Amino acid sequence: MVTDLADLTLRQFADGRRRGDFTSEEVTRAVLERIARVEPTVHAYLRVDADAALEAARRADRVAPPPAGASALWGAPIALKDNLCTRGVTTTCASRILENFVPPYDATVVERLRASGAVFLGKTNLDEFAMGSSTENSAFGATRNPWDPATIPGGSSGGSAAAVAAGACLAALGSDTGGSIRQPAACCGIVGLKPTYGRVSRYGLMAFASSLDQIGPMARTVEDCALLLEAIAGHDPRDSTSIPGPVPPYAALLGDGRLDGLTVGIVREFFAAGLDAEVERSVRAAVRTLEERGARVREVSLPHGKYSVAVYYILATAEASSNLARYDGVKYGYRAEGARDLIDQYRRTRSAGFGPEVRRRIMLGTYALSSGYYDAYYRKAQQVRTLILNDFTAAFREVDVLAGPTAPTAAFRIGEKSDDPLQMYLSDIFTISVNLAGVPGLSLPCGFTSAGLPIGLQLIGPAFGEETLLRTGHAFQLATDWHTKRPPLVKATAGEVP
Amino acid sequence: MTDRYEVVIGLEVHAQLATKTKVFCGCPTDFGAAANTHVCPVCLGLPGVLPVLNRAAVECIVRTGIALGCAIAPVSRFARKNYFYPDLPKGYQISQYELPVCSGGGVAIGAGAAARTIALTRIHLEEDAGKLIHGENLGDPRQSFVDLNRAGVPLMEIVSEPVLRSPAEARDYLVALRDIVVHLGVCDGNMEQGSYRCDANISLRPRGRETLGTKVELKNMNSFRYVQQALDYEIARQEALLDEGGRVVQETRLFDPKAGTTHSMRRKEEAHDYRYFPDPDLVPLAIDAAFLARVAAAMPELPEARRRRYVESLGLPEYDAGVLTADPALACWFEAAVAAFPKPKTVSNWVMGELLRLLRDAGRDARDCPVPPTELAALLAAVEAGTLTRAQAKGALETMFREGKTAAAAIEAQGPAAPGGGGELAALADRVVAENPDKVAGYRGGKVKLFEFFVGQMMRASGGRSNPDEIRRLLQERLDR
Amino acid sequence: MKITIDQVRYVAELARLDLAPGEEGSLTGQLNAILEYMDQLGEVDTTGIEPTSHVLPLTNVMREDVVHECLTNDEALANAPSAEQGHFAVPKIIE
Ligand SMILES: [Mg+2]
Ligand SMILES: [Zn+2]
């Protein structure tokens, strides 16, 4: 069982707090102590607001939560990826260009979590503007994987994933444009859900690629992800791309662990060359577990999946080149000194303010949209996107859930792919098509490599199929204990609860 | 004007839509607020914010499209137009590119034999940029300043085909189009405040040639007169250039109202590589039959239709109908007066004569006319009843206009009716006409000088104290029908 | 398709980025490797395929024309690198 309050799941926290086993302040304090212990190694956070968190925890302890059901997050210490705007609290997107930016407003998800009584510990690290798969592209230093500090935590939500894995928060929010929740979740041995496009409001999420970005929960269990999703999902009149309609009570619909009647599709192309043998072994074993819980398994094909990285890096960079045009040193953010004139100021500001990967993607996206190339790149990519979407639609006529690896390998070593952008892009090969199709994807731990690094199982559902995904993942976690493992770093530093 | 070259002009009008709030956020659109106070995270382009389309702006453009006979696209899309400028907070303008709301349609100009319809290419919805203020105006010539109050204000861009053939025709088109958008209530038409702006594309080609010459874009013309001046200047400039064997450079030129000339913009325009692409933050607009029907049902009457109705149903001369319908506020005022005093021609005479003179002298327009239409009706009823003469009524109306008095109070202030005035005089006119049937027949047969005979009879009978204008009017009423 | 160093300069100009002399070359190389990978899209037959800009089934998302509260001038300018007399300040612009 739990040896330290910092290792509680959200569910354990909610039950214990309600029973009076501990207060929010006690748990928040335990988490802050854990942060103090692991942060020098992990560097999951860009800022920790200890005083504000303790104050919020005490307030949660003083005030009665709303009626049961909505109260699971009351007083729960949670971390936010630093591309989510927080009113009055610096939000940097891990970029020099926003180093001192203080939003005058809250992202909708932040507003909703506040209303749910969540306690915000601070802002977690990411690849600058969420562009990366390793969190090495942060302007403020890389985050390290708690399972092995020589390896990457994945990215771009590497800070949130590492924080959850290290007990530096009970749960966190991340964002996922091409795998940025699921791939770090896999690397850090936690659960991460990218919801259906439109399920969660993007208002206040600093945009990378608007037609792909989604905010989602990262936690230690599928059940915790369900609790968080319930709190953040739902229609938002401030986001034209958010879907109207009620939010299912996801946590109440997790089921009893049986999967009778469920058909799981194994994506043939996901098990092709390039997939690490240990990863393949664990993922196949995980599928057998689903079968044992009553699911039927069959093979399916997503024939256009192999084009998804190419499509993604055209569409995402094109959108990004436009989304990042607002960072010009006029209204907010960094401004370079000593410019000769306005254009010179723009150039200097943006060249010094953005890191190399961001500049590279702006260049790529600008090129793809520029006169004479739009049809060859942007339009073509949008057409292939249609074919990828059609693949998923066809697959979900046959099966309820798709299963496969989240990433082709476990976490790689820091620096290993920094000089080869294309190799870095290919580490998202299994996650990207999910964003292109707009469907939900869940990554959950399903084993370890011989080097002791976590391996992620990816489950993919049809649009608005979160309920099925979560039920499947929950059944898997009832049958296995991968999600209860803690990194050696945590064991080495954690004390017993008296 | 040149006879060796044919002038080809296309106009782009940016009309600010008469909505309460901006096109993608709830900030107010009123003119004249303190700098950067009508702003929010959305129109400041802060990171992470998202646009949400204003329904009223869509209704305005659809209303315009219906009125101008445009095809309303069943599906239209918003696109981003990417370029850097400090008045453009997001580094892109949300506009429309491939699928605008309206395409085709036209604007009727001229009358009779000169009547012509100027074809439109398209009308699309977009957001305005902010305002740049040159440093001199804020006491620091080394800098420029940005006010984003206007950023995000809804505009419709109305693009004509390049079919206008002269500056005068361009002006007629702009006037006719402004009349329409003002009548539709979709734009206040104020050129000085920039709610109705115009850019022109102009090129010359030797007569008889098919291919268009190199076009120049003209900006900064904030009155109809300036548009005409700028085009005149530009025709002369291009003509001289072509005559010398020179080439026109494709460029943007600014009109200088003081000098009456145009000059090349010093700011280097980029190669117009705007990298348009569909805005992923907004979903398509699908205007269906129900939406169209709703907008059509709420359509105000257009100037042309109203003019026709004034002639056909109210029996007004074309001239009166034209004057009264030129300003929608005046037309409304007139209709309210007619509702209370149902003699359209009498009301029209008073409105076009006395009322417009009073308004003009006071520098006001019908929108803020101090006399309510019902009060003019009351005054005219008094004239008809013979309680006061026309001359007295004129005086009373002036008092009503200047002092805000009611008709009753103004009549009271005029004192008793003049001797021989009002009904008495009318009765006298009836008598004089009835007693001289042969003279009446002669007059009506073409002996117009007999009119003076009747005037003389009247003057004599009233002892020379009556108003000769009034006598003439009463006689005309009886003899000229 | 190959991108030339001149195109890289042109794109940098459009994107308002300064490239150091050495960076131009290395970036051209990296972009070419990526673009070469993207050329595989050429093998997909997309005749008659509608482009997807959105996976959503949504249309006509609109709000009512109702005024909301604005930021104060101080709030609006709070993050500005340079502001004077209620305005954002930028280097002098010549038209
Ligand atoms: Mg325009
Ligand atoms: Zn606003």
> What does R_g of chain C's alpha carbons equal in angstroms?
23
Token code pair at residue A145: 């994987």
Q: In this structure, are residues B180 and B56 in contact, taking their beta carbons and an 8 Å threshold?
A: no
Which whole number is the average pLDDT over A468-491? 96
Q: Which of B343, B306, B345 is nearest to B322 (CA)?
A: B306
Q: According to the model, what pLDDT value does residue A68 have? A: 59
pLDDT tens for chain B, residues 1 to 481: 567 899 999 999 999 999 999 999 999 999 889 999 999 999 999 999 999 999 999 999 999 999 999 999 999 999 999 999 999 999 999 999 999 999 999 999 987 788 899 999 999 999 999 999 988 888 888 899 999 999 999 999 999 999 999 999 999 999 999 989 998 999 999 998 899 999 999 999 999 888 889 999 999 898 999 999 999 999 999 999 999 998 999 999 999 999 999 999 865 555 679 999 999 999 999 999 999 999 999 888 877 888 889 999 999 999 999 899 888 789 989 999 999 999 999 999 999 999 999 999 988 888 788 999 989 999 999 888 888 888 888 989 999 999 888 888 888 877 655 544 457 778 888 888 888 888 888 888 888 888 888 888 887 777 666 777 788 888 888 887 6
Nearest residue, CB atoms, A386 vs list C38, C49, C81: C49
Active site residue A156: yes
Q: In this structure, are residues B125 and B23 in contact, taking their beta carbons and an 8 Å threshold?
A: yes
Q: According to the model, what pLDDT value does residue B271 have? A: 61
**Count of CA atoms in the C-beta half-sphere (13 A) of A173:** 36
Q: According to the model, what pLDDT value does residue B73 have? A: 97
Which chain C residues are Cβ-neighbours of B34 within 8 angstroms? 73, 86
Residue B63 dihedral angles phi and psi, to the nearest 5° = -60, -45
Token code pair at residue A144: 């390290």
Q: According to the model, what pLDDT value does residue A426 have? A: 87
How confident is the model over A374-392, as pLDDT tens digits?
Answer: 999 999 999 999 999 999 9
Q: According to the model, what pLDDT value does residue A497 have? A: 40
Nearest chain B Cα distance for residue A371, angstroms: 6
Q: According to the model, what pLDDT value does residue B270 have? A: 55
Which whole number is the average pLDDT over C7-13? 95
Percent of chain C whose pLDDT exceeds 70: 98
How confident is the model over A261-282, as pLDDT tens digits?
Answer: 999 999 999 998 789 999 999 9
Nearest residue, CB atoms, B39 vs list C66, C71, C94: C71
Q: According to the model, what pLDDT value does residue C37 have? A: 94
Residue of C nearest to B268 (CA): C95
pLDDT-based confidence at residue A247 (cuts at 50, 70, 90): very high
d(CA A355, CA A334): 13
d(CA A304, CA A137): 29
Q: Chain C within 8 Å of B145 (Cβ-Cβ)?
A: yes
Q: According to the model, what pLDDT value does residue A495 have? A: 46
For B272: left if phi > 0, alpha if psi spans -120 to 50, otherwise beta; the answer is left
Q: According to the model, what pLDDT value does residue B443 have? A: 87
Token code pair at residue A16: 């214990």
How confident is the model over C57-75, as pLDDT tens digits?
Answer: 899 999 999 999 999 999 9
Which chain A residues are Cβ-neighbours of C66 within 8 angstroms? none
Which chain A residues are Cβ-neighbours of C75 within 8 angstroms? 104
Q: What is the largest distance, in Å, between two alpha-carbon atoms of chain C?
A: 58
* Cα angle: A230, vertex A233, A234; to 5 degrees: 120
d(CA A152, CA B75): 46
Q: According to the model, what pLDDT value does residue B388 have? A: 81
Which chain B residues are Cβ-neighbours of A107 within 8 angstroms? 48
Provide the mean pLDDT of chain A: 95
Q: Chain A within 8 Å of B81 (Cβ-Cβ)?
A: no
Only one residue has tokens 């861009």, namely B157
Nearest residue, CB atoms, C82 vs list A240, A314, A335: A335
Enumerate residues with CB within 5 Å of ligand 2 (an ion).
B 25, 27, 40, 42-43
Of the ligands numbered here, which is closest to the C-alpha atom of B128? 1
Mutate to test the interface with B, among A126, A202, A330, A358 (most CBs of B within 10 A): A330
How confident is the model over A396-429, as pLDDT tens digits?
Answer: 999 999 999 999 999 999 999 988 888 888 889 9
CB count in 10 Å sphere of residue B466: 21
Which chain C residues are Cβ-neighbours of A304 within 8 angstroms? 44
Residues counted in chain B: 481
Q: Chain A within 8 Å of B133 (Cβ-Cβ)?
A: no
Q: According to the model, what pLDDT value does residue A496 have? A: 42
3-state secondary structure of C34: helix
Q: Before A157, cis peptide (omega within 30)?
A: no
pLDDT of A498 strictly over 50: no
Token code pair at residue A404: 């496969």
pLDDT of A96 strictly over 80: yes
Higher model confidence: residue A7 or residue B467? Answer: A7
Burial B173-195 (b: 16+ CB within 10 A, else e): bbebbbbbbbbbebbbbebeeeb
Residues 22-81 (C) with a CB less than 8 A from some CB of A: 27, 30-31, 33-34, 37-38, 40-42, 44, 46, 49-56, 58, 61, 63, 71, 75, 78-81
Nearest residue, CB atoms, B54 vs list C14, C65, C91: C65
**Which stretch of A179-183, A478-482, B6-10, B461-465 has the lowest confidence by average pLDDT?**
B461-465
Q: In this structure, are residues C56 and A197 in contact, taking their beta carbons and an 8 Å threshold?
A: yes
E strand map for B260-304: 261-264, 277-278
Active site residue A81: yes
Q: According to the model, what pLDDT value does residue B400 have? A: 92
